[in-house]
Amino acid sequence: MKNKKGVTIYDIAQELKVSPSTVSRALKDHFSISKEMIKEVKKVAQKRGYRPNSIAASLRNNRTNNIGVIISWINRPFVSSLISGIEEEANKAGYNVIISQSHDSFDNEVANARALYDSRISGLVVSLAMETQSYDHFNPFIQNNIPVVFVDRVADEFNSDKVVIDNFAAAYMATEHLIEQGCQRIALACGSQYRNIYRERESGYLAALREYNIPIKDEYIVHSDSLNAQEGFRIAEYFLSMETPPDAIFSVNDTAAVSFIQYAKEKGIKIPEELAVIGFNNDPVSLIIDPQLSTVSHPAIEMGKLAAQQVLKQSQYKDVVKSEAIMLRTELLVRASTKRK
């Protein structure tokens, strides 16, 4: 009794001796259909196990119920939480979420964007790859009124919605905190300057040093394209084998910060007395490392939700080009790795 070909609105129409249009409208509670008809249609639909064919609807409307997401690496706490937020909001509105990883490569990002475009997503959420410097691959979306919302790693040069945190303020706070703990030689482990988040954090760091009249030393600033654990150890080695090593390090992510602590512990360097370390993101590891890592909160789930909301909102108003930038607050989380006093 299982219909190889699923039940369509035609089948229901036939059974009720009405037209398919009536069924179509009844199923979406169209105001022009009588209450009784709606009830009848839905009853039969239920009975026959009707499931709407969203592909057909998509073809007709030229848009799917899918939201695309391009992120760097899904297996990072910040990123997976971001996706979680996006998914929650999207599902609530009846949308599915298609994810794709750029692995921080520009070419991948371009390929992903194209694949998502081809699949007719009705909106896109992007956190840019480290390498990305050109944004042409997002033009097809804009030209076809498909909303593009950037999250966290955004493109200043590209006019579209953005959801970010105040990286400058956060970095300023973090650096100021180190200064208040009495640190004088504060190093910075930073990321690619192509990305706003790292540029802004560096600016915040520099501004704090200037504000407190602490000399800025180039050798205390390191840029890395991938602040992973391995790189973290490499940078730690560099800093801690200097003639005058820093007495504090501000790392723009927790992964590297944790490596700094591990390296220092290995070398018998006391934290935070001899070396204070502060990270960024509030990853789970920041509470596992001993001493616990001071860091800056990064409201991933909230950012994901807001990004999804923006996408959904924008996809309502066609032809309206008003781009919005949402900036969330972050918090300084002071823990043992910097608490000197």
Paired tokens of 192: 């690619």
Q: How many residues can be counted in the chain? A: 341
Q: Is the N-terminal amide bond of 291 cis, ω within 30° of 0?
A: yes
Closest approach of Cβ 277 to a copy of itself, in Å? 13
Q: Residue 167 binds which one of a copy of itself, DNA, none, with CB within 5 to 8 A depending on kind?
A: none
Cβ–Cβ < 8 Å for 224, 231: yes
**By CB under 8 A, what part of segment 22-61 binds a copy of itself?**
51-56, 58-59
Closest approach of Cβ 301 to a copy of itself, in Å? 9
Instruction: Pick the binder of DNA from 15, 20, 223, 269 (CB under 7 A).
Output: 20
Q: Residue 3 burial (CB < 10 Å; 0-12/13-18/19+)? A: exposed
Q: Is the N-terminal amide bond of 52 cis, ω within 30° of 0?
A: no
**By CB under 8 A, what part of segment 260-279 binds a copy of itself?**
262, 265
Judged by CB under 8 A, which stretch of 67-75, 129-137, 158-166, 210-218 contacts a copy of itself? Answer: 67-75
Q: Residue 16 burial (CB < 10 Å; 0-12/13-18/19+)? A: middle
**One-letter amino acid for residue 223 of the chain:** H
- Residue 61, number of CB atoms within 10 A of its CB: 12
Question: 29 or 290: whose CB is closer to DNA?
Answer: 29
d(CA 241, CA 271): 16
Show the binding pattern over residues 278-317: x = contacts DNA (CB under 7 A), - = does not: ----------------------------------------
Cβ–Cβ < 8 Å for 250, 278: yes
Q: Residue 228 binds which one of DNA, a copy of itself, none, with CB within 5 to 8 A depending on kind?
A: none
In the chain, what is the greatest distance between 2 CA atoms, to the nearest angstrom? 89
Instruction: Pick the binder of DNA from 14, 42, 48, 52 (CB under 7 A).
Output: 52
- Please tell me whether residue 118 binds a copy of itself under the rule CB under 8 A: yes
Instruction: Pick the binder of DNA from 2, 46, 60, 268 (CB under 7 A).
Output: 60
- Please tell me whether residue 25 binds DNA under the rule CB under 7 A: yes
Q: Strand 332-333 to strand 295-296: parallel, antiparallel, or no bridges (unpaired)? A: antiparallel
Cβ–Cβ < 8 Å for 150, 160: yes
Q: How many residues bind DNA (CB under 7 A)?
A: 31
- Please tell me whether residue 213 binds DNA under the rule CB under 7 A: no
Residue with tokens 């919302």: 149
- Distances in Å between the Cα of 17 and the Cα atoms of 10, 23, 34, 138 are 10, 10, 15, 48
Question: 77 or 203: whose CB is closer to a copy of itself?
Answer: 77
Residue ranges that bind DNA, judged by CB under 7 A: 5-6, 8-10, 17-22, 24-25, 27-28, 31-37, 50, 52-53, 56-57, 59-62
Residue ranges that bind a copy of itself, judged by CB under 8 A: 2, 6, 51-56, 58-59, 62, 64-66, 73-77, 79-81, 83-84, 87-88, 91, 94, 96-101, 112, 115-120, 140, 143-144, 258, 262, 265, 284-285, 288-290
